[in-house]
Amino acid sequence: MSDVTEQGAAEGGGRRARGEGRGAAARRASRTGGGPGPSLPYIQRRIREYEVLDEEGLQLIERNADVVLEEIGIEFRDDAEALDLWKAAGADVRGQRVHFPKGLCRELLKTAPKDFTWHARNPERNAQIGGKATVFAPVYGPPFVRDLDGNRRYATIEDFRNFVKLAYMAPSMHSSGGTVCEPVDIAVNKRHLDMVYSHIRYSDKPFMGSVTAPERAEDTVAMAKILFGDDFVENNAVTLNLINANSPMVFDETMLGAAKVYARHNQACVVSPFILSGAMSPVTVAGTLTQILAEVLAGAAFTQLIRKGAPVLFGTFAASISMQSGAPTFGTPEPSLVSYGAAQLARRLGLPFRTGGSLCGSKVPDAQAAHESANTLNMTLLAGTNFVLHAAGWLEGGLVSSYEKFMIDQDQLGMMQKMAEGVDLSEDAQALDAIREVGPGSHYLGCAHTQANFQSAFYRSPLADNNSFEQWEIEGEKRIEQRANALARSWLEHYEAPYLDPAIDEALKEFIAKRKDSMPDAFT
């Protein structure tokens, strides 16, 4: 690691070494009407969590999960090291099936942190994961995009960069995420390099690592070390990494391989059963919660076998399946109940919790998309979720990253951030003097208290049209997705890259070039 790089890491990638920084540029862009307001720090919730299970119900699910772990067991597939580690830890391993003595996983998880800092190259963008913090990250994984010309097509690296830029600019998006879309114009075995680079180059918010193969996880760590320095990475979480369980009750070689790399380097794993109830879990909420808890206990405890103290999250991706068509469904009541319950189980376990987002099954950003997303997102906030993947841009069951929906969703994230502030009970907010001043039959529009407070009083949506019908008609009868389209174009026009130390940039490019030269393109 060169001195230049170390220096860069200490200064958050050198962001503040020159230039005016992001805040001033954002404020200027905002004044001119083209860009967003300044980015907000991660949410520190001042509202309480909503709960759907009482103590008795929670204990019931926990007992049942213990039965699943001990009697049925969890498979750790095609990973001899994992099985050896479990044997050494005292589990009963039969073939690839691991049976866990009661209490073993909980005991192992005592070394996992209750909360931790997810570091960004700009320290102002560091995010707390756990406790009262909530952190939003964009959609993850779609191979397709709905672009700004209305085309549904395969995603490219250009789309990927655009979504990173939009996430960087969105005030209530606290991370630029991970696979914001799959850049299918780049070879499968190389695209992770361009993805990680894009997160570093076009944003200064914290980002996620590649999990599609152990060597890609190693590449992610290597690039993070160029940015932050070796020691910093080994001692701090600079990436969050999505480790899906292959539900029901399986962790496969790929996920285990990635989890081992990240945990070894002290990077955070989000152990997430990916559940479509009725297919990957029982058709009931209680049965689904039991299986989720068992899977997370096994997967999260595994990270502690790799490295005690490695950060790990209790993840849940909950949807249902249509028993008519077999298609996944989103924003319905049952997954909400699952997520509320899982959040409670995670708090009792002392692990940060991931669920939710702005999920939907609709093909277009219409009222179906919005209802399903809003039902999911309101639940996500009130459940007390710490890390929210898919918080913006998700369309069509996760097959599509949509520019328009990204803009609509990020506006809703702003509302959630305001909601999380709860009720201000200060003397000024009580407004007794204003009520005295105005009195019966008058109005508050001009009173001093209103004038002094209105700027901060209400969340202001950049997309909602609340004008009169006549005004709206004159302006072309636009639907919200048309306004979202215009806003996305405007933001991308006003985008300014955050400063990155040229020496770091050069080192990253060199690393990427070397890695790409070392292997032929693979397309599967």
By DSSP bridging, strand 268-277 and strand 317-321 are: parallel
**Residue corresponding to tokens 């076998």:** 305
474 burial via Cβ count (<10 Å: 0-12, 13-18, 19+): exposed
* 425-444: contacts with its own copies (CB under 8 A): 425-426, 428-432, 434-436, 438-444
By DSSP bridging, strand 387-388 and strand 133-136 are: parallel
Between residues 88 and 435, which has the closer beta carbon with respect to its own copies? 435
**Taking Cα atoms as reference points, which of 262, 336, 339, 333 lies closest to residue 293?**
339
DSSP string of 258-294, one letter each residue: HHHHHHHTT-EEEEEEEEEETTTB-SSHHHHHHHHHH
**Taking Cα atoms as reference points, which of 496, 522, 508, 491 lies closest to residue 30?**
491
53: contact with its own copies by CB under 8 A? yes
- Of 449, 490, 491, 515, the residue at the interface with its own copies (CB under 8 A) is 449
Q: Contact region for its own copies (CB under 8 A) — 211-219, 231-239, 265-273, 275-283?
A: 275-283
Q: Do 220 and 206 meet the contact criterion of CB atoms below 8 Å apart?
A: no
463: contact with its own copies by CB under 8 A? yes
**Taking Cα atoms as reference points, which of 230, 326, 313 lies closest to residue 278?**
326
Helix 285-306 × helix 253-264 angle, to 10°: 50
Between residues 311 and 397, which has the closer beta carbon with respect to its own copies? 397
In the shown chain, the binding pattern of residues 280 to 299 toward its own copies, with x for contact by CB under 8 A and - for none, equals xxxxxxxx-xxx--------
Task: Give the phi and the psi of residue 396 in degrees, each rounded to 5.
Answer: 55, 50
* 321-340: contacts with its own copies (CB under 8 A): 321-329, 331-334, 336-337
Q: Do 305 and 86 meet the contact criterion of CB atoms below 8 Å apart?
A: yes
DSSP string of 194-218, one letter each residue: HHHHHHHHH--S-EE---SSHHHHH
Helix 214-228 × helix 502-517 angle, to 10°: 160
Q: Do 281 and 291 meet the contact criterion of CB atoms below 8 Å apart?
A: yes
Q: Contact region for its own copies (CB under 8 A) — 178-186, 207-215, 253-261, 278-286?
A: 278-286
- Of 181, 249, 258, 261, the residue at the interface with its own copies (CB under 8 A) is 249
Between residues 136 and 197, which has the closer beta carbon with respect to its own copies? 136
Three-state DSSP class for residue 5: helix
Three-state DSSP class for residue 177: strand
175: contact with its own copies by CB under 8 A? no
Least distance from its own copies to the Cβ atom of residue 442, Å:
7
271: contact with its own copies by CB under 8 A? no
Between residues 222 and 463, which has the closer beta carbon with respect to its own copies? 463
At 55, list the tokens.
Answer: 């103590």
382: contact with its own copies by CB under 8 A? yes
Between residues 146 and 191, which has the closer beta carbon with respect to its own copies? 146
248: contact with its own copies by CB under 8 A? yes
50: contact with its own copies by CB under 8 A? yes
Between residues 458 and 523, which has the closer beta carbon with respect to its own copies? 458
- Of 148, 188, 250, 512, the residue at the interface with its own copies (CB under 8 A) is 250
Between residues 235 and 456, which has the closer beta carbon with respect to its own copies? 456
503: contact with its own copies by CB under 8 A? no
Least distance from its own copies to the Cβ atom of residue 134, Å:
14
468: contact with its own copies by CB under 8 A? yes
**Which residues are CB-neighbours of 422 under 8 A, at least 6 positions away?**
45, 46, 47
Three-state DSSP class for residue 250: strand
In the shown chain, the binding pattern of residues 473 to 492 toward its own copies, with x for contact by CB under 8 A and - for none, equals ----x-xxx-----------
- Of 1, 4, 40, 47, the residue at the interface with its own copies (CB under 8 A) is 47
Least distance from its own copies to the Cβ atom of residue 34, Å:
17
Between residues 100 and 262, which has the closer beta carbon with respect to its own copies? 100
d(CA 335, CA 375): 10
Q: Do 194 and 160 meet the contact criterion of CB atoms below 8 Å apart?
A: yes
At 136, list the tokens.
Answer: 């939003």
* 75-104: contacts with its own copies (CB under 8 A): 75, 97
72: contact with its own copies by CB under 8 A? yes
- Of 239, 241, 266, 375, the residue at the interface with its own copies (CB under 8 A) is 375
Between residues 138 and 341, which has the closer beta carbon with respect to its own copies? 341
59: contact with its own copies by CB under 8 A? no
In the shown chain, the binding pattern of residues 198 to 217 toward its own copies, with x for contact by CB under 8 A and - for none, equals --------------------
In the shown chain, the binding pattern of residues 345 to 374 toward its own copies, with x for contact by CB under 8 A and - for none, equals ----------------xxxxxxxxxxxxxx
* 101-160: contacts with its own copies (CB under 8 A): 152
d(CA 406, CA 392): 5
**Which residues are CB-neighbours of 158 under 8 A, at least 6 positions away?**
none
Q: Contact region for its own copies (CB under 8 A) — 114-122, 184-192, 466-474, 508-516?
A: 466-474
**118-156 burial, b if ≥16 CB within 10 A, otherwise e?**
bbbbbeebbbbbbebbbbbbbbbbbebbbbbeeeeeebb
Between residues 229 and 328, which has the closer beta carbon with respect to its own copies? 328
Between residues 371 and 489, which has the closer beta carbon with respect to its own copies? 371
Give the alpha-carbon dihedral of 339, 358, 259, 303, to 10 degrees.
-30
